């Protein structure tokens, strides 16, 4: 058991530690001031603008994604509907992002929007996060007891109330997970923003451009900020989730006693 855990933790280290190597670079400079690149990047208006814009866009994307994925994931309870949705989300999720983003761009052109606009950027990012959201909700629905739904029907609860009074409250944690995942996916996404953001510069585009050119070393601090933010949100969620599970178990134990 200990040996297996050591292997798994080492494996996890191989997967994630290299991502943090950019943080080492962000503290290296000739002046001896280890925060030089951080001061420089926060003084860069283009970076702060791109950061705020990305946060705003990702927040909207995550909100739409949770709403849309919850609605469409209700197809779980009907086998035929579920297969159609599964097929669609697999195609949407696995089609190359470059081609998919171009098709959304084309839709916007067909609707008469020739210059870039936020709506289609958010649509493109929502499509990207949708498959993850639907799969998360389906994982939750798998554990909802059939008898709960049957009992609700037996007492005459209508479809709308079963969704809002039973399914939704039982999926509260999934709503949070789905929102967080969608936010992080949208915040860090590059290919779709490249094709859909037009003249607006989002953080992922800003970072890609600067990292490619390699001219401005303060970009290491910029990259590190996104990595640290992502890690904090993921680990913070894990701590919150563990605490919540522990509290629920404690409550159940007290109720049984």
Partner 1 sequence: MNQSFLNNKLFVFLTVIIAIPIIVIAALSFFATDGINQTSFSLEGFKEIFSSLRLNELLKISGRALIVCITATAISFFVAYLLVRNTSKYFQSFFFILITLPFLANESVRVFSWQYLLSENGLFNKILSGITGNQITFFNGTNIMNVYLVMIIACIPFGVFINAASLRTIPNIYWKASDDLNLNSLNKFWKVALPLSKFALLASMLVTFFISFSLSSEVNYLGGDTKISLRNLVLSLMSASKFQSIFSLGFVITILLFVFILLFKVFNRNKISLTK
Residues 175-214 that bind partner 1 (CB under 8 A): 181, 184-185, 188-191, 203-204, 207-208, 211-212
Structure token pair of residue 249 = 């178990």
> Under the criterion CB under 8 A, does residue 42 sit at the interface with partner 1?
no
Query: What x/- string results for residues 73 through 112 when contact with partner 1 is judged by CB under 8 A?
Result: -xx-xxx-x-xxxxxxxxxx-xxxxxxx-xxx-xx-xx--
Shorter beta-carbon distance to partner 1: residue 4 or 256:
4
> Under the criterion CB under 8 A, does residue 29 sit at the interface with partner 1?
no
Subset of residues 61 to 80 that bind partner 1, contact rule: CB under 8 A: 68, 71-72, 74-75, 77-79
- Torsion sign over Cα 98, 101, 106, 109: negative
Cα distance between residue 38 and residue 34, in whole Å? 9
> Under the criterion CB under 8 A, does residue 12 sit at the interface with partner 1?
yes
Subset of residues 211 to 250 that bind partner 1, contact rule: CB under 8 A: 211-212, 223, 226-227, 230-231, 234-235, 237-238, 241-242
Minimum CB separation from partner 1 for residue 188, in Å? 4
Structure token pair of residue 77 = 């309870």
Q: Which residues of 67-94 are buried (b: 16+ CB within 10 A; e: fewer)?
A: ebbbebbbbbeeeeebeebbeebeeebe
> Under the criterion CB under 8 A, does residue 15 sit at the interface with partner 1?
yes
Q: Beta-carbon neighbour count of residue 206 at 10 Å?
A: 21
Phi/psi class of residue 8: alpha, beta or left (left: φ > 0; alpha: ψ in -120 to 50)? alpha
């Amino acid at each position: 058991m200990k040996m297996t855990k050591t292997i798994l933790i080492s494996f996890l280290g191989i997967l994630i530690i290299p991502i943090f190597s950019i943080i080492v670079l962000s503290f290296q400079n000739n002046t001896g001031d280890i925060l030089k690149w951080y001061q420089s990047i926060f003084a860069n208006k283009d970076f702060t603008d791109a950061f705020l814009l990305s946060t705003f866009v990702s927040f909207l994307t995550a909100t739409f994604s949770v709403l849309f994925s919850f609605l469409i994931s209700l197809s779980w309870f009907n086998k035929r509907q579920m297969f159609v949705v599964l097929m669609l989300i697999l195609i949407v999720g696995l089609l190359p992002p470059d081609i998919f983003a171009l098709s959304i761009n084309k839709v916007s052109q067909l609707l008469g929007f020739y210059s870039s606009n936020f709506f289609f950027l958010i649509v493109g990012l929502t499509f990207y996060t949708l498959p993850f959201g639907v799969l998360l909700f389906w994982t939750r629905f798998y554990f909802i007891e059939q008898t709960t739904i049957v009992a609700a029907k037996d007492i005459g609860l209508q479809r709308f109330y079963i969704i809002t009074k039973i399914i939704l409250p039982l999926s509260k944690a999934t709503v949070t997970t789905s929102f967080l995942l969608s936010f992080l996916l949208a915040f860090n996404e590059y290919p779709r923003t490249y094709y859909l953001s037009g003249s607006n510069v989002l953080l992922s585009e800003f970072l890609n451009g600067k990292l490619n050119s390699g001219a401005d070393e303060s970009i290491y601090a910029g990259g590190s900020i996104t990595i640290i933010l992502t890690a904090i949100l993921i680990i913070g969620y894990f701590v919150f989730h563990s605490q919540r599970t522990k509290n629920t178990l404690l409550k159940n134990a007290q109720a049984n006693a």
